[in-house]
A = this chain, B = another copy of it.
Amino acid sequence: MASPRPGSNMSAIAAALGVSAATVSNALSGKGRVSPELIEKVRAKASELGYVPSLTARALRTGRTGVLGLVLPDIANPLFPQIAQAIENAASNAGYGVLIADSRGDIAKQTEAIGRLLERGVDGMVIVPRRGTRIADIGCPVAVIDTPSTPGNTVSADHWEGGAQMGRHLVSLGHRKVLLIGTSAFSNVQNDRIGGLKAGLGPDVECDTMWIEKVEAVSGEGCPLGLADKARAGFTAFAAVSDLSALRALTELQRAGIGVPEMVSVAGFDDLIWSPVVTPALTTVRMDMATIADLAIAALIRAIEEEGDEEEALAGNVTSETDRVPMQLIVRQSTGAPHAGGAPNLHARTPNKPTAGEVTS
């Protein structure tokens, strides 16, 4: 059913009121010239008949479907729920529907997914590109959410600044030797975060970067990262560029009997769902997805409307804005002052209850 339940369309209203369908259309849209009284009567009749406009017919006539596409690099990404939720919310507030498309790994699938969305006539799309992908001009307005340093980016969190916040936090706690942990050296987002971290830590802090993909290429997926050794080598803080890696670090260290945070500190990014409930709760940096989504959708809609007006105004991506949305440092229990003595004691303390309470800055 293109339009739900009843056979209630504009003609039905028009017939019931003895006017023409065009008048009903004008009355409901407020576009043509219709007397106020008639407008009221049309409205009343419409709701009486339970009229629901056929978006399909409207789409056919206007060339606008009122649907946006959401293309994700890998739907299995734990950040996906946050993104999808924020985008869906922003879009539906603006009166748009959201069609999803999964890139499922490779770039070919990403292109294919974009093609499917185009066939369905989306008015525009929000793309969270795969690592290092550059989105070509695909013939409809596109908002790219990646990182400000990516060319073509429309709006995103200020990952660099978020990293800097975390760096400053760690240095203020007294850490002087920090291991930065990323997964892929080809991710713009991760590189920005790491760049910010280094800047925030400043010149007096010794730091090293570990790329998990490289380690796994040698030792296999899910292999131990050897963080206990790193701790023994004097690293007092482990700053991962994602909470997933932070969690991996946390559990590996705990398992090795190294107490967090009293021996070493662990921090992450993204405030993923488990971050507040693990013990110790993870210190992390959070993106303001709601704002990012609002900006992305707003930019997209602006471009869609301009496209209609000027016809061939700006062809490609919505690059006008390139907003960077601040990130928020959330300090929880997994970071603290570094262990006072030399090499950390490898036996964890055994508290009856971990400390509770959460501090947000």
Choose the segment among A35-43, A190-198, A247-255 that binds chain B (4+ C-beta atoms closer than 8 Å): A247-255
- The answer to whether A351 touches B121, judged by C-beta atoms less than 8 angstroms apart, is no
- The answer to whether A4 touches B75, judged by C-beta atoms less than 8 angstroms apart, is no
Q: In this assembly, does A116 line the interface, its C-beta being within 8 Å of a C-beta of chain B?
A: yes
- The answer to whether A121 touches B84, judged by C-beta atoms less than 8 angstroms apart, is no
- The answer to whether A81 touches B82, judged by C-beta atoms less than 8 angstroms apart, is no
Residue of B nearest to A224 (CB): B353
Contacts A59-B56, A248-B278; A351 near B81 (Cβ below 8 A)? no
Contacts A81-B75, A224-B353, A346-B350; A278 near B97 (Cβ below 8 A)? no
Q: In this assembly, does A267 line the interface, its C-beta being within 8 Å of a C-beta of chain B?
A: no
- Chain A, range 49-101, C-beta contacts under 8 Å to B: 52, 54-57, 59-60, 63-67, 70, 75-78, 80-82, 84-85, 88-89, 92, 97-101
**A282 to B117 CA separation, bound complex (whole angstroms):** 38
**A87 to B348 CA separation, bound complex (whole angstroms):** 45
Those 10 A-B pairs whose CB atoms lie nearest each other, nearest first: A257-B350, A254-B254, A75-B85, A251-B278, A252-B279, A255-B279, A251-B279, A56-B59, A346-B350, A2-B121
Chain B residues, CB < 8 A from A100: 70, 84, 88, 98-100
The DSSP consensus for interface residues of chain A is loop
Choose the segment among A17-25, A125-133, A200-208, A269-277 that binds chain B (4+ C-beta atoms closer than 8 Å): A269-277
Convert A331-361 into 0s and 1s, putting 1 for each residue whose CB lies closer than 8 angstroms to a CB of B: 0000000000000001111111110101000
Chain B residues, CB < 8 A from A64: 2
Residue of B nearest to A332 (CB): B222
Q: Which of B97, B244, B254, B350 contacts A274 (CB 8 A)?
A: B244
Chain B residues, CB < 8 A from A104: 85, 89
Q: In this assembly, does A288 line the interface, its C-beta being within 8 Å of a C-beta of chain B?
A: no
Chain B residues, CB < 8 A from A57: 60
Contacts A2-B60, A256-B350 known; list 5 others, CB within 8 Å.
A54-B60, A56-B60, A88-B102, A99-B100, A252-B354
- The answer to whether B276 touches A274, judged by C-beta atoms less than 8 angstroms apart, is no
Q: In this assembly, does A1 line the interface, its C-beta being within 8 Å of a C-beta of chain B?
A: yes
Contacts A81-B76, A81-B77, A84-B75; A97 near B99 (Cβ below 8 A)? yes
Q: In this assembly, does A226 line the interface, its C-beta being within 8 Å of a C-beta of chain B?
A: yes
